[in-house]
Amino acid sequence: MPIGSGCPRFSKRRHGNRLLIPEPPMSKKRLKFLRAAKFESQSGRCFYCDLPMWLRCPSELGLRPRSAAPFQCTAEHLVAKQDGGKDAANNVVAAHACCNHRRHKRPGPAPSPESFRALVQRRVMSGKWWTSLPPGIARAPL
């Protein structure tokens, strides 16, 4: 099907004299690059709970692979793609897999990043966010 022939994803639109063609979806390679860049800019800490994450290998935190999955760095969309969020650098942060999952698996629409971050930080301070921290996380300086 040629561009502009009725396919909504590739329909042509004009803005003045310029033809606008929608940006293609973010590639996995680009998302991986963004995740690593955000990991570095956040000093390897989760956007929500501010505890250390691992990016390439669980041994970065002294964790065993069996217990490391929740602490893996993921690319978190601040405005979820299902809610109209874009694959853009200003909409992606680094977060633990578990923190990312908990935000988006809540009933109803996902809470705003700011309100969810405040909730997580309160629960971390009261010891109610992570039921138990592995030694590699617990020993890491805050």
The pLDDT tens digits for 53-72 are: 999 999 999 898 888 999 99
What single-letter amino acid sits at 31?
Answer: L
Q: Which tops the pLDDT comparison, 62 or 118? A: 118
| Residue 129: inside a domain | yes
Distance CA 24, CA 80 (A): 17
**Which residues, at least 6 apart from 116, have a Cβ–Cβ distance to it below 8 Å?**
48, 103, 110
Mean per-residue pLDDT over the chain, rounded: 81
| Residue 3: inside a domain | no
| Residue 74: inside a domain | yes
Beta strands in 1-142 (DSSP E): 13-15, 18-20, 73-77, 92-96
Other CB atoms within 10 A of residue 101 CB: 14
Distance CA 38, CA 21 (A): 28
Distance CA 8, CA 57 (A): 41
Task: Give how many domains the chain has, as a whole number.
Answer: 1
7-40 pLDDT, tens digit each: 333 334 444 555 555 555 567 888 899 999 999 9
Q: Whole-model pTM?
A: 0.77
Provide the residue range defining the domain that includes 69. Answer: 26-137
Q: How many CA atoms lie within 13 A of 22 on its CB side?
A: 13
- Residue 2 confidence (pLDDT): 42
The span from the first CA to the last CA of the chain, in angstroms, equals 54
67-92 pLDDT, tens digit each: 899 999 999 999 887 778 887 889 99
| Residue 17: inside a domain | no
Distance CA 97, CA 116 (A): 15
| Residue 55: inside a domain | yes
| Residue 108: inside a domain | yes
Q: CATH number for the domain including 43?
A: 1.10.30
Other CB atoms within 10 A of residue 78 CB: 18
- Residue 37 confidence (pLDDT): 94
**Which residues, at least 6 apart from 46, have a Cβ–Cβ distance to it below 8 Å?**
52, 53, 94, 95, 96, 99
